[in-house]
Chains A and B, each alone.
Chain A
């Protein structure tokens, strides 16, 4: 899978966790907490969803690596 694929998956899981976000409105460099207003519970739910879907277990110390869709795509591609 390419980074583009991972970014698409990340966005899909993001709007599942936060159904009031419209995926079309999310930019690749939007910060999931500062711009998209995810709280720590949402971030954990997103990490859980990515683990279940991709088998990639993101440890707490790496949460900053998924702070934007673009960063998350790069991180997931590296970790796969």
Chain B
């Protein structure tokens, strides 16, 4: 039997607010299924289960702020029966003692019945609906796949008289996200002995490769330079495993067999999230691009999954196609490396003894000196550079 608890979605998360059930008692679930949606400092996150079995009870109340580790639901493994496992059953806080004949009244009132379908909503819409006291289930979503967006909430709320002035939702969300970023980055800078290696790379071959490839393809098949960088990071991390994994006390560094590059996504108005592209090594360049598109879209719509928030093994942070030329990033704990990429800039460059104009990108790798040394990071950079200069091999 599994007691499904409020997971930690980052080393600095202390609590989360349960905002939605996506299962109901009697539903069967398997590993990786989404069970609930929790509002955190980083927005609404879909929580996956690592157990399989039947949901027998939803013990936590919707709308409540709950600490990490608080029981949320009971999931019985196939063939299990709670009455036959009284010791374990008694360990559940809202347990019904099996020896007493009369049923104990349920201490937690069942709030809204769980619906089989989750209400999908953008983080801003979710916050605004909460402020206005509106139920997301009553709002028709007009976003992609029926996602409730800010305009839908505002459209409905225009018809509802506002009793009290409400704080701006952006202020609330950003304030919380800023706190989360502050905590994670302070911890990173206080505990990780960062060191940095940089290299400026000629990306003209990569840009030409993509221009030629994309010119004949419809927009949904086009690939961005950013996807090529994520693919190169993945392959380079495969060659230098000491860049890919987690460092936790007291065990120290645990290299990861799978490579889950976290892709930093800047959110409008400030803040960022770095959801992981799971098992990117198994993907082609096209699949990497597809996966990134999906991550960015879900980061914007507020539907990232708990595994994506916690299982990143190395982060890629790219400044995009315009902007500053160099970035020295802060490692996202418990990871041990971050690949920072500036925007491409046109510069005079020496190629075969001639000075020619070339688009160059400055790559800066931030690494954890508890785990790696300059030589290993230099190997990573060299592998990355080779891949970007022969993009057809990606």
Contacts and interface: CB of A to CB of B under 8 A. Distances in A.
Interface of A: 15-24, 33, 36-37, 39-42, 44-45, 47-48, 51-52, 57-60
Nearest to B120: A19
A5 to B, nearest CB: 18
Contact of A15 (B151, B215, B226, B297): B151
Interface centre among B219, B222, B225 (most CB of A within 10 A): B219
B220 A20 contact: no
B269 A33 contact: no
A41 B226 contact: yes
A49 to B, nearest CB: 8
B132 interface: no
A53 to B, nearest CB: 11
30 contacts: A16-B149, A17-B300, A18-B268, A18-B300, A19-B125, A19-B143, A19-B144, A19-B300, A20-B122, A20-B149, A20-B300, A21-B268, A24-B151, A36-B268, A40-B320, A40-B321, A41-B292, A41-B296, A42-B296, A42-B300, A44-B293, A45-B296, A45-B297, A47-B219, A48-B220, A51-B219, A57-B218, A57-B219, A58-B219, A59-B215
B150 A19 contact: yes
B268 A51 contact: no
Contacts of A36: 268
A60 B268 contact: no
A20 B267 contact: yes
A59 B267 CA distance: 26
Contacts of B12: none
Contacts of B151: 15, 22-24
A33 B268 contact: no
Shortest 6 CB-CB distances between A and B: which pairs?
A: A19-B122, A19-B149, A48-B219, A47-B219, A41-B296, A20-B124
Contacts of A15: 143, 149, 151
B147 interface: yes
Contacts of A22: 150-151, 154
A37 B296 contact: no
B224 A40 contact: yes
A15 B154 CA distance: 14
A44 B300 contact: no
Given A20-B300, A40-B320, A60-B222, A45 B266 contact: no
B190 interface: no
Interface centre among A21, A22, A47, A51 (most CB of B within 10 A): A21
Nearest to B145: A16
Contacts of A39: 265-266, 296, 320
B90 interface: no
Given A22-B154, A37-B266, 9 more contacts: A16-B144, A20-B124, A20-B268, A22-B150, A36-B268, A37-B269, A40-B226, A40-B320, A40-B321
B216 to A, nearest CB: 10
B163 interface: no
B5 interface: no
Contacts of B125: 19
B57 interface: no
B267 A41 contact: no
A37 B293 contact: no
B333 interface: no
B27 interface: no
B214 interface: yes
A51 B321 CA distance: 22
Contacts of A41: 224, 226, 292-293, 296
B123 interface: yes
Contacts of B287: none
Contact of B224 (A17, A23, A44): A44
Contacts of B150: 19-22
A16 B144 CA distance: 6
Contact of A33 (B222, B224, B296, B322): B322
A21 to B, nearest CB: 7
B294 to A, nearest CB: 10
B301 interface: yes
Contacts of A24: 151
B131 interface: no
Contact of A19 (B224, B266, B292, B301): B301
Nearest to B141: A19
A8 to B, nearest CB: 13
Contacts of A45: 293, 296-297
